[in-house]
Amino acid sequence: LFLGRSDAVELPVKFIPHSAGCYHCQILLKSSHDVRVYEIECVVNTDHAEAQLQFVTPIYQAVVQDIPISNMSRRDWTLEAILEGQGFYGPPLINVGLGETALYPLMFNPIAEC
């Protein structure tokens, strides 16, 4: 902790997460004249998340792939989906409650051979 004053002290904190998720910590500092509690929240994401989907369907026939989205945080999520590419459809928003997994229905509906 560094408060930017001459009477401040540094408090080094080392954090080594074992997996992705939301981690909470409280640091309690006490003296004979003062008590302070600092709350720290660390959100850890995976290093690299990448997926590839392959859709095969006859022309003018839609296929839907449900994509799971897990919320390991301590807050509800409202996510905005931005789809690029011709023939792809899905809801513009999806809500994922804390600790829940929601399915995002990605649809591919080709109007020509591609």
Helical (H) or strand (E) element with 94: strand 93-96
Least reliable range by pLDDT among 8-17, 29-38, 45-54, 70-79 = 45-54
What pLDDT, on a 0 to 100 scale, did the predictor assign at position 94? 94
Residue with more model confidence, 102 or 85: 102
- Does position 75 have pLDDT exceeding 90, yes or no? no
- Does position 96 have pLDDT exceeding 90, yes or no? yes
- Does position 113 have pLDDT exceeding 70, yes or no? yes
DSSP 97: -
Residue with more model confidence, 110 or 95: 95
* Residue 62 in tokens: 């839609």
Per residue in 11-32, pLDDT tens? 888 888 888 778 889 999 999 9
